[in-house]
Structure 1
Amino acid sequence: MNVSVKPAPGDNRSLKNILVAEKDFEAGDIIYKEHPIVAVLDADLQGKGSHCSHCLRHIQKGMAITPESDRLDSVYCSEDCQVKDKVQSQNLLFGLEPVLPPEMDNGLNELTKRDRNQAQETFTAFLKAQNKPSHLLAARIVARQVTIETAKMSANKGGPVVAELPEGSGVGEQYGLSDHIERLRFINANVSDEEIKKLCEVLASALPGLEKSITDERHAILLGKIAYNAIGICYAGGRDDRPVSDERPEDMERTRTPHGTSRQTGCGLYLVSSYLAHSCAPSARPLFNSGTSELHLVATHPIKKGDELTMAYVDVSQHAEETPEEARRRRRVELARGWKFKCECSRCLSETPEGAESELGVEKDESKVEEVLRHTLVGEPSGPPTGLE
């Protein structure tokens, strides 16, 4: 992908990694392309039939493939997207077909259908009531991890399920999706007992014992990783018809996008692009030139081998009605609310009025890595995750 993940210069305590170019690029060059490990449509578009529920492509009227039964009213732009979505997460979370390979099912699916149906109906109602992409993203990540582990047990070495191994696992058998996700940074996130209960019921009804992989702490960390790393998917500058949230600004879900979360079609988790640090004068920009959730990272100016790659997490342009000071404050407030750090990039420092005081509510980068990873890499005492209330 022409990049590598390396420790941030001079950083040996926070374990912050950055993305570094492995060759020279000119402005406009595509540095790499990356598919999301999971992606979801914004809630207001789900069920309208206008976008593919897997790749998020816009679908011309009358051209959507509609499943016979789907709790989320999903539609697809192609049979390939429908099959991939079904295999990766849709069947486990919202379908009633066997979860285990045929040679291992031994009639389990028939015995569990009634309980699965009831659990899925309850979970679907919860997701629609919450109206937040992060909950569905988290559930799909869990489901995809289950699919990968299931594929490893399959005696059949072909078909869409086994195709999950090279596509979803990452680097060989010794380093998989769970290892990637474990290394991502996160911020504190709230998780409700109701969400945990309903997701666990879906997993337990499909395969008894599967629910034991979900705990309050683990799921809170996963939601914190989504909050910190999810990237907004915007086509051609984004849309203007996304409903305005009635939540308080500090409670709104945000995703990394130079266009602003309010203009996205959906969002996804990109494992490599999660290592892109923010800058208000970024060296690269995520584009979606294929009209799908495939991310194209494009250089915004000449880049030399060894340079750090950065992107803008928020809209860093100066709006017509804003002064430079107002634009700077707007983007820094949004960064503090969404990603819990005080931006001190070169642009912010150069635009800071002399004697200006910070009123952002954060004085440092509050993102973190998991305790088990910190213990492994720097030998600090390992303990239970903290700050997850």
Structure 2
Amino acid sequence: MKTKTVAIATLGTVAAIALGYALYFDQKRRNDPDFRKKLKREKKKIAKKAKQSADTIKQKVSETLEAGLEAVNQEEFPTSVDEKEKFFMSQISAGETLCAQGEEHYFEAAMCFFRAQKVYPSPVELIMIYQKTVPEPVFQLVVGMMTLEHQKRQDGFYKEFPPEDMNVKIEDIPEGTNGEGSTVMRKGLVVTKDFEEGDVIFVEEPIVSALNTKLEGGDFCNYCLKDITGDKVECANCDQVVFCSQECYEKANEEYHQYLCTNNKTNENAASSQEQAFLDYSKDKNVKYPYLIARFLATMVHDEIEKAKSGVTDGYGSWDHVDRFRYLELAPTDQNMKELKLIKELLGPKVTGVEEFLTEERFLMLKGKILFNAYSVQSIGKAEKAIEKSTELHRESQADLSSVGSALYRATTYLAHSCEPNSKIEFADKSHKLTVKATKPLKKGDELNTSYIQLEDKNTEQRRNQLAELFQFKCVCPKCESD
């Protein structure tokens, strides 16, 4: 009999035996209760052993990744561009060589590729290249170390922030239960010592702020939002913005204005530029949040450049803060998509990575974070100046003060809402610098809250309806619950 015939015959015999056993097994399973019980017990034993085996493997992999990450983090990395480039190429070359030597060298290879991404300007882009070019087990090890490093950063964030001198810390606060009966937790700001009514709890500068667009170029500083009572400092290249001091001008230009300036003093074609189109849209619609988002993205780039100059690779930047903020769900409306397009056209040619970073999903999330968390900078009395009100959403509680702009804050954003707040927001020097004051005595461990809306002349139903409509939550503060 030929080999092929023997193989087919053997396979046929095995298949017949297997089919016969399957029929016998199915009959026993259906008709024999003791057999079913025994089968169930065996399944549990097998599942338990499989879980134990999987847990053991997972633990060993985790320990290996932990050791690798710890070893890399103990090393010193180059800081200059030339040194980084040489280091990157040497690690890539070493990783490729180790991969070629076989599986026993895969972990060492992964360590090399992991080191290389530490000095690469766009780690996400590099990971996509790795996925296509390195062996799958090596790629998974690199991703594993990156994930572990990210998790450690996540876990360490609230240990470092807020700093002790702010007199507050961020804790998990229970907020009711979900449909399954589990406790829902949120982040809240609690005081770390006692305060009396009227005490200043902390003062905070914003991550980013923006002036109401119709006030640009008038009496308010583009950088700190302060009402300018003395001499104004103008931009050297445009007449669209003014500043209260040379210091504010230099900070603005370094952080964001260099990317947003229309250059209409120096460029005869400025009227048809992307910068002018962006400014015209913002003024026509009386919206400042597209500008706030553009400033934030530019500030992120500035932060990374400063970190690279100093050689600091760890620490938390602006995005680490904003990424943790709550946000409102937004739909991709025509207006939102128009704003996304304008921002990409404005920053895309100037800021590397903006096109890839600012996806539709991320833009909507970022705008949703601003809408939920931005505070109105209420620094001018309504009797002092007539200021056209913006229609954009922000937290605003003072009925007798006008808003000149909006700002995002690292710590203040964690203040909960209450219709009977124990703290209030002030802008003492009439700039975007914010002060949080106690409105009643506070004990160490008390959660801080403020009002997101103007409370005057509103009953419980009106307050709850406004909060639900604007901020998408039902108020369950003691005042609303007792009323």
Q: Normalising by structure 1, report the TM-score.
A: 0.72
- Aligned partner (choices 138, 149, 165) of residue 304 of structure 2: 149
Q: Which residue of the partner structure matches residue 79 of structure 1? A: 246
Tell me how far apart the structure 2 counterparts of residues 313 and 63 of structure 1 sit (CA, whole Å): 35
Tell me how far apart the structure 1 counterparts of residues 465 and 175 of structure 2 sit (CA, whole Å): 27
Q: Which residue of the partner structure matches residue 201 of structure 1? A: 345
Higher relative contact order (CA 8 A, sep 6+): 1
Identity of aligned residues (%): 32
- Aligned partner (choices 205, 208, 212) of residue 356 of structure 2: 212
Q: Which residue of the partner structure matches residue 180 of structure 1? A: 321
How far does residue 335 in structure 1 lie from its aligned partner after superposition? 1.3
Q: Which residue of the partner structure matches residue 321 of structure 1? A: none
How far does residue 222 in structure 1 lie from its aligned partner after superposition? 0.4
Q: Which residue of the partner structure matches residue 134 of structure 1? A: 289
Pair 177,317 (structure 1): closer, same or farther in 2 beyond 3 Å: same
Pair 238,306 (structure 1): closer, same or farther in 2 beyond 3 Å: farther
* Structure richer in helix, relative to its length: 2
- Find the structure with the greater CA-based Rg: 2
**1:206 is paired with a residue of what secondary structure?**
coil
Structure 1 contact 52–77 (Cα < 8 Å) conserved: yes
Report the AA paired with residue 55 of structure 1.
Answer: C
Q: Which residue of the partner structure matches residue 408 of structure 2? A: 269
Q: Does 1:256 align with 2:395?
A: yes
Tell me how far apart the structure 2 counterparts of residues 190 and 231 of structure 1 sit (CA, whole Å): 22
Report the AA paired with residue 301 of structure 1.
Answer: K
Pair 179,13 (structure 1): closer, same or farther in 2 beyond 3 Å: farther
Tell me how far apart the structure 2 counterparts of residues 13 and 220 of structure 1 sit (CA, whole Å): 28
The CA RMSD over aligned residues, in Å, is 2.8
Tell me how far apart the structure 2 counterparts of residues 302 and 328 of structure 1 sit (CA, whole Å): 25
Tell me how far apart the structure 2 counterparts of residues 261 and 139 of structure 1 sit (CA, whole Å): 30
Q: Deviations over 1:293-349 (max 9, x none)?
A: 11010000000000000001111123xxxxxxx533333222122111121211112
Q: Deviations over 1:9-58 (max 9, x none)?
A: 3677655200000000000000000001111112332222x111111111
Q: Which residue of the partner structure matches residue 221 of structure 2? A: 52
Q: Does 1:2 align with 2:167?
A: yes
Structure 1 contact 230–256 (Cα < 8 Å) conserved: yes
Pair 218,13 (structure 1): closer, same or farther in 2 beyond 3 Å: farther
**1:16 is paired with a residue of what secondary structure?**
strand
Report the AA paired with residue 238 of structure 2.
Answer: D
Tell me how far apart the structure 2 counterparts of residues 209 and 315 of structure 1 sit (CA, whole Å): 40
Q: Which residue of the partner structure matches residue 226 of structure 1? A: 370
Structure 1 contact 21–307 (Cα < 8 Å) conserved: yes
Q: Does 1:26 align with 2:181?
A: no
Q: Does 1:328 align with 2:466?
A: no
Q: Deviations over 1:59-111 (max 9, x none)?
A: 12x6111123336x111111111111111211122267xxxxxxxxxxxxxxx
Tell me how far apart the structure 1 counterparts of residues 404 and 456 of structure 2 sit (CA, whole Å): 20
How far does residue 186 in structure 1 lie from its aligned partner after superposition? 0.3
Q: Which residue of the partner structure matches residue 434 of structure 2? A: 295
**2:273 is paired with a residue of what secondary structure?**
helix
Q: Which residue of the partner structure matches residue 237 of structure 2? A: 69
Pair 261,206 (structure 1): closer, same or farther in 2 beyond 3 Å: farther
Pair 208,182 (structure 1): closer, same or farther in 2 beyond 3 Å: closer
Q: Normalising by structure 2, report the TM-score.
A: 0.58
**2:214 is paired with a residue of what secondary structure?**
coil
Tell me how far apart the structure 1 counterparts of residues 473 and 288 of structure 2 sit (CA, whole Å): 23
Structure 2 contact 303–317 (Cα < 8 Å) conserved: no
**1:211 is paired with a residue of what secondary structure?**
helix
Report the AA paired with residue 153 of structure 1.
Answer: A
**1:4 is paired with a residue of what secondary structure?**
strand
Structure 2 contact 175–184 (Cα < 8 Å) conserved: no
Q: Return 5+ residue gaps in structure 2 as ranges.
A: 1-165, 177-181
Report the AA paired with residue 258 of structure 2.
Answer: N
